[in-house]
Structure 1
């Protein structure tokens, strides 16, 4: 999960962003040939090579059926199965572009991406911002560093220190990525320190 320097927005008064939610993208499903009616497939989310969540999808004419289990906090698991209707619009150069119609009650917005909470809904229903809308300069550097950490298989969070070279990775690649990572970390920590000093605290209080 998140935490200071983990890539999620830890700072005071921050709201969730689209990066904080699992998502499904109808354009990706169209590109992968998954929207043809009368088929079924699974969709998974992974972290560091391990599956952390999955859903089942059944396609019908003009809609898909999402089936999965979820829970909030320590509540019991709850089964969900409901339709998400599709809409299609003509492209300027021919063909058609698919859209989800947000299944949240009273919404129905035409969107390309839905975000998973209790149900999959559009970012407007969850009041999500794009990361760039809420991101400070040091947040952006921390996020870039975390992307490199993910490539290297290191524990998320720039305060967790560096890990080892992944097996099979060339040393030149490892050294290049490590140098980029360390540069992003230095900039991010400097920004955090400046922010905390303005609030009467020091970066050492969080390490």
Structure 2
């Protein structure tokens, strides 16, 4: 899904009231989508055409309200208020999906990449994060390294224990998946053998 990021718009100075801008999306260096937008003090109006399936192109023209919050060190931060009916969540990102409008990930029921990970993959990623912090070579199958210079032993021992626990979860999950694959291959082999025997017996009967 193509995202619309209010943070990028703000950093680029594109939220100045009265501006008309063109937003483009590219894939492999080729432009795949473009929309027009008009910025006002309290909203951004999105203007584009949308086509779903074999239907005709439909013109889209609607405002997305903005909300501003104060930053701790000064300045203001912009947020989108999701324009989907009944939503209005304050978000940084909107996505365009099958409904043809830009809406938040909750409305489109999108998950973060880490939420789609298997438990063992997530554990391996967390173990690698600890390895990077400790200055060890990334990869849970590599040997553990030593304590980084300047790190307290208590912190080092805690991180090592967490790392080893994540490694254990990851290896157990990989082992279970490999066992499942092996069982499937064994079952498939048994089915193929049974089919072969059935065919041979049928040919004997025909002769």
Fold conserved between structures, TM > 0.5: yes
- Specify every segment of 5 or more residues in structure 2 that has no aligned partner in the other structure, as ranges: 126-173, 187-207
Which residue of 2 is the match for residue 197 of structure 1?
181
Report the secondary structure of 1:124's partner residue.
coil
- Larger radius of gyration between Structure 1 and Structure 2: 2
Taking the aligned partners of 1:50 and 1:127, their CA distance within structure 2 comes to 28
Taking the aligned partners of 1:84 and 1:48, their CA distance within structure 2 comes to 29
Which residue of 2 is the match for residue 151 of structure 1?
none
**Which of 102, 113, 132 is residue 131 of structure 1 equivalent to?**
113
Return closer, same or farther for 1:132/1:40 CA change in 2, 3 Å cut-off. Answer: same
Runs ≥4 residues deviating over 2 A: 135-138, 193-202
Superposed CA deviations along residues 121-170 of structure 1, whole A, max 9, x for unmatched, are 011111110011102439x99xxxxxxxxxxxxxxxxxxxxxxxxxxxxx
Once the two structures are TM-superposed, the CA of residue 78 in structure 1 deviates from its matched residue by: 1.1
**Which of 61, 66, 79 is residue 46 of structure 2 equivalent to?**
66
Structure 1 length as normaliser, TM-score? 0.58
Which residue of 2 is the match for residue 89 of structure 1?
69
Report the secondary structure of 1:123's partner residue.
coil
> What pairs up with 1:1-207 in 2 under 5 angstroms?
21-117=1-97, 118-136=100-118, 137=121, 194=178, 197=181, 200=184
Number of residue pairs matched by the alignment:
132
Which residue of 1 is the match for residue 145 of structure 2?
none
Taking the aligned partners of 1:198 and 1:89, their CA distance within structure 2 comes to 55
Which residue of 2 is the match for residue 9 of structure 1?
none
Taking the aligned partners of 2:89 and 2:115, their CA distance within structure 1 comes to 21
- Specify every segment of 5 or more residues in structure 1 that has no aligned partner in the other structure, as ranges: 1-20, 142-189, 203-207
Taking the aligned partners of 2:46 and 2:179, their CA distance within structure 1 comes to 43
Taking the aligned partners of 1:27 and 1:201, their CA distance within structure 2 comes to 49
* Two-structure CA RMSD over aligned residues (Å): 2.6
Once the two structures are TM-superposed, the CA of residue 91 in structure 1 deviates from its matched residue by: 0.5
Taking the aligned partners of 2:94 and 2:183, their CA distance within structure 1 comes to 37
